[in-house]
């Protein structure tokens, strides 16, 4: 029987930080593009500029920006986890998200896991901190979606090359 190496708290935290940096940089580009577009729209407007108009436009812009940033976040994590089991951060740090049976993730499970991120962060991020104390290194989002984060030997290793048949059996030992 092979030993299963679960991805630990710090490795996962660094991978998440890499992913959030990528997402924040992309969101920042969207933000400044929107500000630029909004500024150009105000200059070309034939309407009389007022504080009320500015407040309304700014509010609409911020709501639109927040929706786009959230949608980008959902798409990023759902796509990468659902197709390869690895986001860019996880790939860099040699981590992969799989089902407890060792099977690869599906987009539906990946989306459920993302919804679990919200729940994990609701109460002082306890769902993420839980990873440090759990035997299988699962956060609340992992438990909700029924997933495990494991270490992989190489960045190009496919799910069938990883000996994961004993993921469920290990639960009996713990």
- Over residues 78-94, the mean pLDDT reads 97
Render pLDDT for 94-129 as a digit per residue (tens, 0 to 9): 999 999 988 999 999 999 999 999 999 999 999 999
DSSP assignment of 135-156, as one string? TT---HHHHHHT-EEEE-SSTT
Residue closest to 117 by CA, chosen among 130, 103, 106, 135: 130
Query: Domain locations in the chain?
Result: 9-173
The dihedral over CA atoms of 69, 34, 17, 138, expressed in degrees to the nearest 10, equals 0
User: Cα–Cα–Cα angle for 144, 111, 97, nearest 5°?
Assistant: 70
**pLDDT > 70 in the chain, percent:** 79
**Do 74 and 111 form a contact (C-beta atoms < 8 A)?**
yes
Q: At residue 168, does pLDDT exceed 70? A: no
Q: Which residue has the higher pLDDT, 36 or 71?
A: 71
Q: In the chain, what's the furthest Cα-to-Cα distance?
A: 75
Phi, psi of 22 (to 5 degrees): -60, -45
End-to-end CA distance of the chain: 15
Name which residue leads in pLDDT, 59 or 75.
75
Average pLDDT across the chain, whole number = 85
> Quick one: average pLDDT of 127-140?
96
| pLDDT for res 94 | 96
Per residue in 7-50, pLDDT (tens digit) is: 999 999 999 999 999 999 999 999 999 888 877 665 555 555 66
Instruction: Provide the 3-class DSSP secondary structure of residue 28.
Output: helix
Are the beta carbons of 144 and 115 closer than 8 angstroms?
Answer: yes
- Predicted confidence band of residue 56 (pLDDT cuts 50, 70, 90): confident
For the segment 79-103, the average pLDDT, to the nearest whole number, is 95
């Amino acid at each position: 029987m092979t030993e299963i190496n679960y991805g630990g708290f710090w490795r996962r935290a660094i991978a998440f930080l890499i992913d959030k940096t990528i997402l924040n940089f992309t969101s920042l580009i969207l933000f400044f593009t929107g500000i630029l577009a909004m500024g150009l729209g105000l200059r070309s407007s034939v309407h009389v500029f007022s504080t009320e108009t500015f407040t309304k436009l700014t509010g609409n812009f911020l709501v639109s920006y927040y929706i786009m940033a959230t949608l980008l976040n959902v798409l990023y994590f759902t796509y990468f986890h659902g197709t390869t089991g690895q986001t860019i951060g996880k790939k860099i740090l040699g981590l992969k998200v799989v089902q407890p049976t060792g099977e690869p993730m599906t987009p539906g499970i990946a989306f459920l896991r993302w919804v679990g991120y919200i729940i994990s962060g609701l109460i002082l991020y306890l769902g993420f901190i839980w990873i440090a104390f759990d035997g299988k290194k699962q956060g609340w989002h992992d438990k909700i979606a029924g997933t495990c984060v494991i270490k992989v030997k190489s960045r190009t290793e496919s799910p069938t090359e990883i000996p994961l048949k004993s993921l469920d059996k290990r639960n009996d030992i713990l």
